[in-house]
Amino acid sequence: MIDLHDKVKQVLITGASRGIGLQAALSLLHAGCRVYCVSRSPSNHAHDNLHHIPADLASGVDSGAEICALLEERGVFPDTLILCAGAITEALIPKQDPPSIMNQLNVNFVAHVELVRRLIPHMMRHRFGRIVGVSSTAARQPAPGQSLYAASKAGLEAFLRCCAMEFARKGITCNSVAPGYVATEFSARLEATKDLSKVVPVGRMASVQEAADAVLFFLGRHSDYVTGTTLTMDGGLSLAVK
């Protein structure tokens, strides 16, 4: 059982139909939270406190607005946001066509900015909020073919650092987690995961539970003073890169 802050009760998670987001959702349900999961398709899990909010974040600002309208209709005002949905198109820059550019920027960055912009006033009124972005080590470590993905994740981290400054006095913390490689459908598609044991000092990928636990750290009872930071959890990968 995680040692959650007692004000963490209603959590909105993007990208919670599978992978890291779903694992975080399951841990939060277990801890007694009500969890609202945004994704295009629902997860296979059923629970009275698990609610699917269908949305395609590729619509950027519009999807953020639609999600918030749906929440408002239901009288739901999340105290916690986990921004976990992610999209990547691995291709060199000339092959990153406008739809793939916009898809990566919208899913990883723009839709999340809009969700924060619309939901933070409620957190301010209640003088409590927890916001965690799921970034990537790619935000800092260049890899060929990942330019838009890296830029959108770096943007998300920078955005959350500024939010941390703006809302620190309102009891709202904003942080990011930057995983290296986590065993999910997402990483299975990546070129670099073919022979990880040689490049990751720990010698394996992280499990989804390990990645979810890093996210949940920021929702913990003892994390009030932690804001504006990024927790890298990569099994030492960034140490090993020359």
Site for ligand NAP, rule CB under 6 A: 15-21, 39-41, 55-58, 84-87, 107, 134, 136, 179, 181-182, 184-187
Query: Minimum Å distance from CB 232 to ligand NAP?
Result: 10
Query: Minimum Å distance from CB 15 to ligand NAP?
Result: 3
Question: What one-letter code names the amino acid at 241?
Answer: V
Question: Which tokens hold the place of 196?
Answer: 């990880």
Whether 149 sits among the annotated catalytic residues: the reply is: yes
Q: Residue with structure tokens 């609202």?
A: 36
Helix, strand and coil content of the chain, in percent to the nearest 5, comes to: 45, 15, 35
Query: Minimum Å distance from CB 124 to ligand NAP?
Result: 26
Q: Which is nearer to ligand NAP, 87 or 174 (CB)?
A: 87
**SS3 state of residue 211:** helix
Q: Which is nearer to ligand NAP, 132 or 163 (CB)?
A: 132
Cβ atoms 148, 87 nearer than 8 A = no
Phi, psi values for residue 189, rounded to 5°: -85, -10
Query: Minimum Å distance from CB 122 to ligand NAP?
Result: 22
DSSP 8-class letter at 182: B
Question: Which tokens hold the place of 105?
Answer: 């920027």
Catalytic residue among 36, 149, 181, 225: 149
Query: Minimum Å distance from CB 109 to ligand NAP?
Result: 11
Residue 21 CA, distance from chain mean position: 7
Q: Which is nearer to ligand NAP, 14 or 128 (CB)?
A: 14
Phi, psi values for residue 224, rounded to 5°: -55, -30
Q: Which is nearer to ligand NAP, 15 or 145 (CB)?
A: 15
Q: Which is nearer to ligand NAP, 87 or 128 (CB)?
A: 87
Alpha helices in 8-81 (DSSP H): 19-30, 61-73
Half-sphere exposure (CA, 13 Å, Cβ side) for 132?
30
Could you give the residue numbers annotated as active site? 149
